Amino acid sequence: MHGLTVTPKRRDGHEPIMKMQCGPIRYKAKANTHHFDHVLIPKNTPFRQVNENQLFRELSQNEHRNEMILNDVIEALERERSPVILTERLDHVAVLEEKFWGITKHLVVLTGALTKAEMKERIDGIRQISSHEERLIIATGQYTGKGLKMRDWTRFF
């Protein structure tokens, strides 16, 4: 499921509906400020819209979907990219952390379950990792902008 819009501020008064359907804004692009192309590669799954909480629970626990994520991220790591996996569910973070444990040299998990001291320690640790070293972040969306230079991260899942 993805939500994309070029008009988040709505003159028709439907901004609350758009936010409910797409969720909060995670990324804003400005014309001519980046030196790379933005590409969205949809990965089709058999899921259809049901109760939103049920959908997110099923998405996070679906083994086939998690294997697709695993394979795509491994491919990105092999191509010397710096991936970030974003999810809104702590149970999904735990599933993905278990899958990637031992696969990548630097695995960093950022969630709201961390104390401020733990978050600072992990952010500082990320900053110490060379951009040439293999690294992966798994995070809940609200924690990806906390002191990270997002231009250093080249693949988002």
pLDDT at 150 over 60: no
Examine residue 94 and state whether it is found in any structural domain, yes or no.
Answer: yes
Report, as an integer, the average pLDDT of 101-117. 89
The model scores a pTM over 0.75:
no
* Domain extent at residue 41: 35-156
Judge whether residue 130 has pLDDT over 80: yes
- pLDDT of res. 35: 54
What is the number of H-type helices and E-type strands within the chain? 5, 4
Average pLDDT over every residue of 132-143: 81
CATH (domain of 74) = 3.40.50.300
Q: Which amino acid is at 39?
A: V
List, for residues 79-108, the tens digit of each pLDDT value: 888 888 888 889 999 999 999 998 888 999
Inter-residue contact 153 to 90 (CB < 8 Å)? no
What's CA 142's distance to the chain center, in Å?
A: 10
The DSSP line for 40-101 is: ------S-----HHHHHHHHHH-HHHHHHHHHHHHHHHHTT--EEEEES-HHHHHHHHHHHT
Percent of the chain with pLDDT over 70: 71
Instruction: Specify if 152 maps to a domain.
Output: yes
Residue 12 lies in a domain: no
75/78 Cα distance (integer angstroms) = 5
Q: Kindly state whether residue 84 falls inside one of the protein's structural domains.
A: yes
Number of structural domains found in the chain: 1
| In-domain check, residue 4 | no
- Residue with token string 């439907």: 14
Domain assignment present for 1: no
Asked if the structure places residue 7 within a domain, the reply is no
pLDDT at 153: 63
- pLDDT grade for 14, boundaries at 50, 70 and 90: confident
Is 119 within a domain? yes
